[in-house]
Structure 1
Amino acid sequence: MVQEEEAASRIVQVQDRGWAWVVLIATVLVQGLTLGFPSCIGVFFKDLQYDFQASNSETSWFPSIMTAVLHAGGPLCSILVERFGCRTTVMLGGLLSGVGMVASAFSKSISHLYITAGFITGMGSCFGFQAGVTVLGYYFIRRRALANALASTGVSIGLTLWPLISQYLLDEMGWRNTFLIFGGVLLNCCVCGAVMRPVPVQPPALSMKSCPEQSTEGAHLSNGNTLHHKEHLPPSLCAACFQTLQKYLAFDIFCKNKGYQIYTIGVTWMVMGFVLPLIYLVPYAIFSGVEERKAALLISIIGFINIFMRPMAGLLSGLSIFTGRRIYLFSVAVLLNGLSNLICAISAEYSILVLYCLVYSVSMSVIGALLFQVLMDVVEMDRFSSALGLFTILESVTILVGPPLAGLLVDVTGHFSYVFYASAFFMVSAALFMGLSFCTMEAKNKLTETHKLPLPENPSRGKYTEVPTELGPDKNGPPAVIYITSI
């Protein structure tokens, strides 16, 4: 009992205060080094095409694989987090990211780049990013919305700095030496992971109470049912694989939790268009006659505005008026983000592109600040790691095919503007699907709850009625009470 009280006091001391803010700073840096990194790939698009004699579709596979693996590695990351903890997983991710970029500097073909910078660096970025998001959920409880918003500013810092640094290093020493330097920079994720020490976990009361019952049951089995116990065959390989997938991919939550199901499908469809502007904006500007340095500055403008807008979006979503309604705020942001792509598609003048970046970055800030916060609202925190694994691996499918299909569209039509029309279509349709689906589900839940309320007056009030002392399968008995929880 004393040990439980000491563990609880240690949890109170680290959550939402003290070392939690150090972990938050480390998570900001990790997200800037991982999630922000793919934004600079557009700077190298033209040089990679020239050196490897590759088409737009072939070149776009490189950032597509990197971003897809960054999301698809979620289940493996969940296994590593459960087995070794968030600290070791982030450090391993930093090591893989650095090794992948160093190896990519010696690539002889575009296919080699798919493996080194695409797969290896993407997998390392996945470990660092997802383990960092998971550890925030344990260090912050009351201020979790603010912590997620502040952590997402790391992506904004990465969006601001990576393109500018990439363009400068590319002009000075070429893309191979630049990738070599990037490998050393990404190793700093190991330093960030070192400060993410585990949170003291209080033993759950349920498991403490169930120990005597479990021991009694075990003794009973060993004394009376020994022969029957030996007759049980070990589970088959297929059953073991199914249990493992269900544990780390949260298929049970996907089937039972309607909110998680709608949100996962909506975001999976959304990201097919969400990643396209960040990859094709710089090539589009250069193709339209904009100077390379000014074209790279466009991504930095988006990132710079995100630095200030994401914390504001996190503070806004933390207000009591948005409690249980963050999904609607998220859907509106996705809708505006999709409509903003029409500005870029209409004209490629630099002033219009700057205006597009200003409008696009505001909606992008809200999306980035709420993406994982809404997921934490929809699922329980003790299953968040596995829910995040399924959530991101489904995202990776559309992320993988989105940019190459957009590159194929450019190769066929010869116009980059169709990429932004396609992005607008995916974003707007996803926003309408999520917003209307949650609205319909909430209305249905309220209707069900209303029908389950007891009648205000009972005609037989005041009369004696015999109440059975035992519950039986009486079909004429009162209906069971159904408790509806909010999304």
Structure 2
Amino acid sequence: MSPAPADELGYKPLDGGWGWVVVVGAHISIGFAYSTPKVLSIFFKEIQEDLGTSFSEIALISSIMLAAMYAGGPVSSVLVKRYGSRPIVMLGGLLCGVSMVTASFGTSIIYLYLCIGIIGGFGLSLNLNASLTIISKYFLAKRPLANGLAMAGSPVFLCFVAPLNQYLLVKFGWRGSLLILGSLMLNCCVAGALMRPVVPPSKPSTLPKKVEEQPSSCNTKLKRSLMKNAKKFLDVSFFRDRGFVIYLIGSVMFIFGAYAPIVFLPAYAISQGVEEYSAAYLLSIMGFVDMFVRPGTGLVANSKWIRPRIQYFFSFAVVFNGTCHLLCPLMKSYALLVVYAVFFGVSFGMVFALIFECLMDLMGSQRFPSAVGLVTIIECFPMLLGPPTAGFLVDVSHEYKYLFLMCGSVITTGGVFLFIMNIYNYHMLKKEKTAKDREQNRGATEDQVEMKRTPEAEIEPAEPEAENGAQRGPCPEDAENSN
């Protein structure tokens, strides 16, 4: 499918300029949003021993954080529409910093669920949704590249924060580490300050109006009811779109198995006899590879051959990711685990460089904020269930291989589903377009036949009007001469 036309935005995006500075800010905020739930797994063993919890209970910290990040999508969409991306990202950074600082004083797992999971996850949702929305305002032709560079923030931060967390854990324990991590997350406020609102160049005025603050008339009212907001940002009409439903099912299956392998990878490596620092470096290796794969995938997706087939490209990336997890139980030595981390980074980077771009491709820039809000709130359920289910398998079997087999099977099935159903969807779209064109041609032919059947007298053009606007009649002098 081709990118959404500029007419949907009401202006032509700059595809550059200050937009690249905005990409830097989005890179930072998205980096914290996606890397934080992953790197927290380094603290899990210490927290588990300190608070006396099980694998499934400790895995719920990341699950709740990710679920809150996704479930907060509609609320974030409402706030971004009303206030713009800049203040929302700054608010999200503040919430993230406060959540980590308060969690460092926790004495129960429930307290960590509330601080890290709910408060921190909601702060991350503000960062994520606002950053993705403002990129769609600044870019159109180069949007896959801009999304790839912004989404590369996750592996870049994962690459550096994972060993940093291991170092902090050794020096300050998990409580001191959370305190320092909270101060680092306040940099999201700086990232939000870079997100200058877009001013349409075609409509200059003395007081420029933010593009993010140009919704329909019902959204410009200061007082709107909760029901109207729900109808706007939980628009069930999306479910009548066949392409959206196919995308949603495939992405839900991917999300269910996407994060559990990351959460338990260091623990799995330690169970295979790998030293703790080396186990933490597996996440860094994955992040380092992912760092280059995401912008590279954006470049490839922006090519003339791939851009119209980006849904197929996304399906391949999902199948590739699932296959990596299915092969993970065969990796027993550290060298083989490094190979797994490399391929995991490649496949994971490909998926997340494309996952939101594919939704933009289906919905267009104008409908994207509402669509991503609906998608994220639905995806919060598999996000919440995935890691605890994997942890439950570890608790029951006392082995890690079953969680990798479960995640790999679900993700691979989702990728195959996407590939087959996208073939069906494109076939149906082509068939519907052909039928519509045939109907239009048939209507035009019937009009031509009707015109031919009409008597010549009926279609004879009327006499030209007189200067006074009345129709000209026979002149009396002409009638007298004829007699």
TM-score class, shorter: 0.7 to 0.9
1:343 partnered with 2:288: no
Counterpart of 2:432 in structure 1 is 448
Q: Aligned partners of 1:342, 1:58: CA distance in 2, in Å?
A: 25
Give distance in 2, aligned partners of 1:30 and 1:461. Answer: 63
Q: Does 2:382 match 1:401?
A: no
Distance in 1, matches of 2:278 and 2:142, equals: 39
Corresponding residue of 1:282 = 266
Asked whether 1:361 is paired with 2:345, we answer yes
Q: Structure 1 residues 386, 463: CA separation in 2 closer, same or farther (over 3 Å shift)?
A: closer
Gaps of 5+ in 2: 1-9, 204-223, 459-483
Question: Which amino acid counterpart does residue 437 of structure 1 have in structure 2?
Answer: M
C-alpha displacement of 1:255 = 2.3
1:285-434 counterparts in 2 under 5 A?
285-434=269-418
Contact 2:61 2:116 (8 Å CA) reproduced? yes
Give the secondary structure class of the aligned counterpart of 2:105: coil
**Alpha carbons of structure 1 residues 23 and 448: separation in structure 2 relative to 1, 3 Å:** closer
- Return closer, same or farther for 1:451/1:417 CA change in 2, 3 Å cut-off: same
Alpha-carbon distance between aligned partners in 1 of 2:432 and 2:374, rounded to the nearest angstrom: 30
- Structure 2 Cα separation of the partners of residues 427 and 373 of structure 1: 19
Question: Which secondary structure state, in structure 2, belongs to the residue aligned with residue 381 of structure 1?
Answer: coil
Conservation of the 8 A alpha-carbon contact between 1:97 and 1:121: yes
Check the 8 A contact 1:52/1:109 in 2, yes or no: yes
Asked whether the 8 Å contact 1:11–1:199 carries over to 2, the reply is no
- Equivalent position of 1:243 in the other structure: 228
Residues 449 and 33 (structure 1), Cα distance of their counterparts in 2 relative to 1, 3 Å cut: closer
Q: Deviations over 1:449-475 (max 9, x none)?
A: 3344247x98997993349x9xxxxxx
Instruction: Provide, for residues 263-304 of structure 1, a one-character-per-residue CA deviation record: whole Å limited to 9, x for no partner.
Output: 112101211011111111111111222110000000100100
Q: Which residue of 1 aligns with 2:177?
A: 178
Q: Could you tell me how far apart the structure 2 residues matched to 1:40 and 1:107 are?
A: 18
Contact 2:331 2:340 in 1 (8 A): no
Which shifted more, 425-434 or 445-454?
445-454
8 Å Cα contact 1:343-1:352 kept in structure 2: no
Q: Comparing 444-453 with 172-181, which one deviates more in the overlay?
A: 444-453
Matched, 1:151 2:150: yes
Find out whether 1:464 has 2:449 as its counterpart.
no
Secondary structure of the residue that 2:120 maps to in structure 1?
helix
Cα offset, 1:447, TM superposition: 2.5
How far apart in 2 are the matches of 1:466 and 1:271?
64
Whole-angstrom CA distance in 1 between matches of 2:350 and 2:379: 19
Where do 1:259-270 residues align within 5 Å? Answer: 259-270=243-254
Q: CA deviation at 1:160?
A: 0.4
Report SS of the residue matched to 2:384. helix
Preserved contact between residue 78 and residue 229 of structure 2 (Cα < 8 Å) = no
Separation in 2, partners of 1:246, 1:203: 31
2:453 maps to a residue whose letter is: T
Within a 5 Å distance, the mapping from 1:24-103 to structure 2 comes to 24-103=23-102
Q: Deviations over 1:195-244 (max 9, x none)?
A: 1121114799xxxxxxxxxxxxxxxxxxxxxxxxxxxxxxxxxx955432
In 2, Cα distance between equivalents of 1:378 and 1:52: 46
Residue 311 of structure 1 aligns to a residue whose secondary structure is helix
Residues 463 and 180 (structure 1 numbering): CA distance in 2 closer, same or farther, change over 3 Å? Answer: closer
Q: Provide the rounded CA distance (Å) in 2 between the counterparts of 1:242 and 1:396.
A: 21
Structure 1 residue ranges without an equivalent (≥5): 1-9, 205-238, 470-487
Which one-letter code corresponds to 1:403 in the other structure? Answer: P
Give TM-score, length-normalised by structure 1.
0.83
Matched residue type, 2:452: Y
| 1:298–1:354 Cα contact (<8 Å) kept | yes
Partner in structure 2 of residue 192 of structure 1: 191
Q: Does the residue aligned with 1:464 lie in a helix, a strand or coil?
A: helix
Deviation at 1:59, TM superposition (A): 0.5
Task: Quote the Cα distance in structure 2 between the aligned partners of 1:401 and 1:313.
Answer: 29
Amino acid in the other structure paired with 2:266: V
Contact in 2 for aligned 1:89/1:128 (Cα 8 Å): yes
| Corresponding letter in the other structure for 1:425 | S
8 Å Cα contact 1:247/1:386 also seen in 2:
yes
Distance 2:225 2:82 in 1: 18
TM-score by length of 2: 0.83
Seen in structure 2, the aligned counterparts of structure 1 residues 172 and 443 have a Cα distance that, compared at 3 Å, is: same
Distance 1:327 1:308 in 2: 21
CA distance in 2, matches of 1:147, 1:458: 47
CA shift, 1:324, in A, is 2.4
